[in-house]
Amino acid sequence: MARKSVMRANAGAGDVTFNMTPMIDCTFQLIIFFILTSQAASLELAKLTLSKPYKSTAVTSEEFAIPYKAIVNITSAEGENGGRKGEAMWYVVGGKKVRLQDLHEVQKFIGDRLASHLKDGLAQKDFYVEIRGDKRVHFRHILPVMEIATNLGIGKMNLSAQIKTVEE
C-alpha cells in the first residue's frame, strides 16, 4: 500500500516546461519590424512642428532632384522657459544651436556649405537652402535666413512641410 502511493507521487512530479517558440517568433517579428521601419535620426534635422498645408505640394527629399543643400532649422520658444507666442528659440545649423542674434554664424554655415559645393566642381544653381521652420514661429525670424541666402547668390529655396495625407 505504502509502495503504491510512493509510485503515484513520483509519476505526478514531471518537469513543467512551457513552449517558448511562439514567444520567440513574436519577438523576432517585432525586431524585424523595428529594424525595417527605423530611420537614423539626422543631426541636421531639429525637433520641431512642421506646417501641414491644405493639399500639400511638398515632395520627399528623394523625389527632389537636387541633393546639395544647407538646412536651417528655426525652432519655437513657445512653451519653453516662458517663451512667448511666435518667438523663435534657436537657429539650428549642422546640428549646432545658434542664438537668434548670431545670424553671422548662420551665414557662415551656409557660405561654407556653398563653398565646399563649389569646390567639388558643382554649379551654384544645383545648391539650395532648405528652411525648416516651426509652424508657430513668426515670419520675422525666417526672413533674415532668406535674406542671407539671397545675399550669397543662392537661387533656390525649399520650405519644409508635411506631405499630403491620404485622406486629403
Partner 1 sequence: MPSYTTETIPGEDAAHYKSNRQKRKQGSPKMQPPLTPMIDVTFQLLLFFLLTCQFRVAEGQIPGSLPAKGAPASVQQPDLKEIRISVRPGMDADTVGFFIDNEQAGTTEPRALYEQLIARQQRLGDPELIREKVPVMIEPVDVVPWEFVVEAFNQAVRAKFKHIGFASR
Instruction: List residues binding partner 1 (CB under 8 A).
Output: 20, 24, 27-28, 30-31, 34-35, 37-39, 41, 50-61, 63-64, 74, 85-86, 129-130, 133-140, 142-143, 146, 149-151, 153-163, 165
Nearer to partner 1, 27 or 116 (CB): 27
Give the shortest CB-12-to-partner 1 separation in angstroms: 21
Give the shortest CB-86-to-partner 1 separation in angstroms: 6
Nearer to partner 1, 9 or 139 (CB): 139
Nearer to partner 1, 1 or 101 (CB): 101
CB 128 within 8 A of CB 68: yes
- Strand 127-133 to strand 88-93: parallel, antiparallel, or no bridges (unpaired)? unpaired
* Residue tagged 485622406 (cell numbers): 167
Phi, psi at 131, each rounded to 5°: -100, 115
Q: Determine how many CB atoms are found less than 10 A away from the CB of residue 135.
A: 13
- Strand 68-76 to strand 127-133: parallel, antiparallel, or no bridges (unpaired)? parallel
Give the shortest CB-73-to-partner 1 separation in angstroms: 12
CB 152 within 8 A of CB 111: yes
Nearer to partner 1, 50 or 122 (CB): 50
Give the shortest CB-52-to-partner 1 separation in angstroms: 8
Q: Which of 129, 123, 133 is nearest to 156 (CA)?
A: 129
